[in-house]
């Protein structure tokens, strides 16, 4: 239901299929009893739908809002996000309230159809019924759009929904959010937003070979379609531990802070979703995330006289220092800092390789205009040169992170070419 679930869809078959309700026989909407028609519920539902980033998946570029049809590329074929406008024949207009609640809480659609966790019911199961019905109220208030969408376009046998019986048994625990004793109301609010409607773990938690969350690595980062969603725990080097609460709020609100800037899929999440949240909710998210545990990061950097470090330093001074500065401090809110940047020190260099090869287009929000973008070095630097400069920035100015190999870069370059990038 969100861009983050779109990203998670690429991790495996079982997190790649978009949910789609089978078209129900035409009925009059008056026959369906809804218990959520107040303006307050509709407005609250609009906010929650924005928090859940529903529009990112369910709005096709150039299409009507929430009418579905957005293509989701996966290793197993293409999927199309379903129509969730209140159209009777092709949307959710014929659904009862319990149908909608069941889709989000237990992964069962109108008529009992089993959903794939690309529609992240393993997270939405924690949502309160009243919040889910508020989203339904908002969707009911939208313009009905007749737009038939055949969501599941995966080839046999990946299109067999019965496989979800076993997947759910292994990886899905239904149940509502329970506040943690001994934690503040703010912390628990953040926990609810992250674990439930925000479904942050859909991207920021690594998946196993069947697409289930590796719960022992919760929020410590995950790979997806040529990107690495970073560690968002309190890890002081690779996560948010060195960021203040205000730093996290600024990043989620504007896509920038004194250290870094959002790009790639996270830029879209910020533009469509988190930039529209209240400061109180953003602060609650920050408080919760910074309190999440994570194993310690490496503490010993590569020696400055290592050949890769020397080569990387020369490339950095020639290609990077004009923007990011010789001391790696960058220019706040214009050019991200390399020094102390958790993305730079990530355990997985996938995103860094992507950024160097493809360049960036920074997020623009109502609170910050589009910043300066980084150019592509795809045709300018060899695999070894990219590996050297990344190894250098990951082990300079107090940074510590594993070296990047030419093989890592070659793999990233091949993947981008297969995706039509750059």
Taking the C-alpha atoms of residue 203 and residue 312, their distance in angstroms, rounded to an integer, is 31
Cα separation, 109 vs 42, whole angstroms: 22
Q: Which helix (H) or strand (E) holds 120?
A: none
What pLDDT does 158 receive?
63
**Structural tokens at position 85:** 């406008």
Determine phi and psi for 270, rounding to 5 degrees: -65, -45
For residue 352, how many other CB atoms are within 10 A of its CB?
A: 25
Q: Which among 78, 211, 248 has a CA at the least distance from the CA of 150?
A: 78
What whole-number distance in Å separates Cα of residue 282 and Cα of residue 109?
Answer: 31
Tell the CATH topology of 185-290: Cytochrome Bc1 Complex; Chain D, domain 2 (1.10.760)
SS3 category, 283? helix
Number of neighbouring beta carbons within 10 Å of residue 336:
28
164: left (phi over 0), alpha (psi -120 to 50) or beta: alpha
User: Is the separation of the CB atoms in 272 and 381 below 8 Å?
Assistant: no
Strand residues in 47-200 grouped as ranges (E)? 71-74, 77-80
Give me the count of residues in the chain.
422
Q: What is the pLDDT of residue 364?
A: 54
Closest CA to 215 of 171, 163, 255, 281: 171
Q: Phi and psi for 131 in degrees, rounded to 5? A: -70, -40
User: CA geometry: angle at 250 spanning 246 and 254, to 5°?
Assistant: 175
Q: Using an 8 Å Cβ cutoff, are 34 and 86 in contact? A: no
Matching CATH topology for 185-290 and 307-418? yes
pTM score, two decimals? 0.87
| Contact (CB, 8 A) for 404 and 302 | no
Q: In sequence order, what are the residues at sequence separation of 6 or more whose Cβ sits closer than 8 angstroms to the Cβ of residue 376? A: 357, 358, 359, 422
pLDDT tens, the chain, 422 aa long: 554 554 444 433 333 333 333 333 333 443 444 554 688 889 999 999 999 999 988 999 889 999 988 877 655 667 788 999 999 999 999 999 999 999 999 999 888 888 888 889 999 999 999 999 999 999 999 999 999 988 776 667 766 778 889 989 999 999 999 999 999 999 999 999 999 999 999 999 999 888 899 999 999 999 887 789 999 999 999 999 999 999 999 999 999 898 888 888 898 899 999 999 999 999 999 999 999 999 988 889 999 999 999 999 999 999 999 999 999 999 887 888 999 999 999 999 999 999 999 887 655 555 555 556 788 899 999 999 999 999 999 999 999 999 999 999 999 888 877 766 65
Per the CB < 8 A criterion, the answer to whether 190 and 287 are in contact is yes
**Residue with the two structure tokens 């290793």:** 75
Measured CA to CA, the distance from residue 2 to residue 53 in angstroms comes to 5
Cα 155 versus chain centre, distance: 26
C-alpha Rg value of the chain to the nearest Å: 22
Which tokens in the block code for residue 112?
């009992």
- CATH for the stretch 307-418: 1.10.760.10
Q: Please give the pLDDT value at position 361.
A: 65
Tell me what pLDDT residue 291 has: 97
Tokens of 196: 């439930």
The contacts of residue 160 (CB under 8 Å, 6+ apart) are: none
* φ and ψ of 132, to 5 deg: -65, -40
> 55 is written with which tokens?
């529009």
* Beta-bridge mates of residue 72: 79
As a whole number of angstroms, the distance between CA 372 and CA 394 comes to: 22
Q: How many CB atoms lie within 10 A of CB 135?
A: 29
Query: Hey, where are the domains in the chain?
Result: 3-171, 185-290, 307-418
Q: Is the peptide bond before 181 cis (omega within 30 degrees of 0)?
A: no
Non-local CB neighbours of 340 within 8 Å, separated by 6+ positions: 242, 259, 397, 398, 399
State the Cα–Cα distance between residues 422 and 414, nearest whole angstrom: 11
User: What is the distance between the alpha carbons of residues 337 and 154, in angstroms, rounded to a whole number?
Assistant: 42
Q: Are 276 and 52 in contact (CB under 8 A)?
A: no
């Amino acid at each position: 239901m969100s861009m983050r679930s779109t990203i998670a869809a690429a991790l495996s078959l079982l997190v790649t299929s978009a949910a789609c309700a089978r078209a129900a026989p035409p009925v009059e909407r008056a026959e369906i009893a809804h218990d959520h028609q107040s303006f307050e519920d509709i407005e609250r539902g609009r906010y929650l739908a924005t928090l859940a980033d529903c529009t990112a998946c369910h709005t096709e570029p150039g299409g009507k809002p929430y009418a579905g049809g957005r293509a989701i590329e996966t290793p197993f074929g293409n999927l199309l996000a379903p129509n969730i406008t209140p159209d009777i024949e092709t949307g959710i207009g014929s659904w009862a309230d319990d149908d909608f609640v069941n889709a989000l809480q237990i992964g069962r659609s109108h008529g009992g159809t089993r959903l794939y966790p690309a529609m992240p019911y393993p997270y939405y199961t924690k949502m309160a019924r009243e919040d889910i019905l508020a989203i339904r109220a908002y969707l009911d208030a939208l313009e009905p759009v007749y737009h038939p969408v055949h969501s599941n376009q995966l080839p046999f046998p990946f299109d067999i929904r019965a496989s979800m019986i076993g997947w759910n048994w292994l990886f899905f625990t239904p149940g509502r959010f329970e506040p943690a004793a001994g934690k503040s109301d703010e912390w628990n609010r953040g926990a609810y937003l992250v674990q439930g409607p925000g479904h942050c773990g859909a991207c920021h938690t690594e998946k196993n070979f069947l697409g289930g969350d590796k719960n022992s690595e919760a929020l410590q980062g995950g790979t997806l379609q040529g990107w690495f969603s970073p560690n968002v725990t309190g890890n002081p080097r690779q996560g948010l531990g060195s960021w203040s609460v205000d730093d996290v709020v600024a990043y989620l609100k504007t896509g920038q802070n004194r250290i870094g800037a959002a790009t790639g899929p996270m830029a879209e999440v910020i533009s469509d979703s988190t930039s529209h949240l209240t400061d109180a909710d953003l602060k609650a998210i920050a408080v919760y995330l910074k309190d999440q545990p994570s194993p310690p990061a490496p503490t010993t950097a590569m020696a400055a006289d290592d050949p890769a470090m020397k080569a990387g330093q020369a490339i950095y001074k020639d290609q990077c220092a004009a923007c990011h500065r010789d001391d790696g401090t960058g220019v706040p809110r214009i050019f991200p800092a390399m020094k102390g940047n958790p993305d730079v020190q990530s355990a997985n260099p996938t995103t860094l390789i992507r950024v160097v090869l493809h360049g960036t287009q920074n997020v623009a929000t109502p609170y910050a205009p589009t910043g300066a973008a980084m150019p592509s070095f795809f045709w300018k630097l060899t695999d070894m040169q990219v590996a050297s400069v990344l190894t250098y920035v990951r082990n300079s100015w107090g940074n510590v992170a594993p070296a990047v190999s030419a093989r890592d870069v070659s793999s990233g370059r091949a993947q981008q070419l297969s995706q039509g990038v750059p």
